[in-house]
Amino acid sequence: MKLTPEQRITLHGFNNLTKSLSFNMYDICYTKTKEEREAYLEYIDEQYNSDRLTHILKTVSDIIGAHVLNIAKQDYVPQGASVTMLVSEGPVVEVPTENFEETPGPLPETVVMQLDKSHITVHTYPEYHPDEGISTFRADIDVSTCGEISPLKALTYLIHSFDTDIMTIDYRVRGFTRDVSGHKLFIDHEISSIQNYIPDEAKDMYHMIDVNVYQENIFHTKCKLRNFDLNNYLFGYTKDKLSHEEQKDITESVQWEMDEIFYGKNIYPGTVEEEK
């Protein structure tokens, strides 16, 4: 088997690089009344309670080959939940055969590698506009690993685990490790874009923008759904119950919200060019 340059490097001791993946997802809903808003938040709170989030994080730990040491979870009042999971190197079933190519990770059928001294966390943030109309749900998931494996291998599963209108994804490699001659290594794998770790079917669904600082090993990708179906943003009814004018107003309101989240700023008329 031909080895890559990364695989030929003999390290001095443990691989001390820390690789951190932050996955942030947003679900947006139009809630015309207080009753609709409360029903939506109750639905979200049930869908993404701490038990379900714990299951998602356990599956992430399986995908990256980790052993769960401790779980702390909490459902909040009136809404929201958090789960923190400490993980360590899992049992090595076989010699790792992981390559260093930029490819999407697996769905939860296989354990691929091992790691040590790491953690996985999730926090949820239901939120709504003070004047009614728009409600949003955000979940922040952080996967931090030490050693050879990249948490980017969990990205495919995370995308499949949430109904997502907007995603922002950050990846950073911190610290350094040394080879046997004492030479510092600040990254141990090639990476040009987080997009290369996202499955093709997901890339086809989203408009994506990269903001990368290659010399600092910092990578950022944000994604917004390409196709808009108003029915996906109404709670408890469909657009055929609305007048044409109501459909137009709600569509503009929801798309405005999506643009502001995607671009990370308050948007005023004429400040963002319409996407081609």
Q: Which of 65, 139, 73 is nearest to 108 (CA)?
A: 65
pLDDT reported for residue 253: 94
Q: Is 244 in the active site? A: no
Q: Is 118 in the active site? A: yes
pLDDT reported for residue 169: 97
Q: Which of 29, 61, 146, 223 is catalytic?
A: 146
pLDDT reported for residue 163: 85
Q: Which of 118, 135, 144, 150 is catalytic?
A: 118
Residues in the chain predicted with pLDDT less than 50, given as ranges, are 1-3, 6, 92-97, 99, 107-115, 274-276
Cα–Cα distance measured from residue 123 to residue 249, given in angstroms and rounded to the nearest whole number? 32
Q: Strand locations in the chain, DSSP E?
A: 18-31, 66-75, 81-89, 116-128, 133-146, 166-174, 177-178, 184-185, 206-210, 218-225
Neighbours of 258 (CB within 10 A): 20
Q: Is 144 in the active site? A: no
Q: Which of 22, 67, 82, 123 is catalytic?
A: 123
Distances (CA, A) of 117 to 74, 80, 186, 265: 23, 27, 18, 36
Query: 50: helix, coil or strand?
Result: helix
Neighbours of 238 (CB within 10 A): 9
pLDDT reported for residue 17: 83
Could you please report the per-residue DSSP string of 14-30? S---EEEEEEEEEEEEE
Q: Which residues contact 231 (CB under 8 A, 6 or more apart)?
A: 238, 239
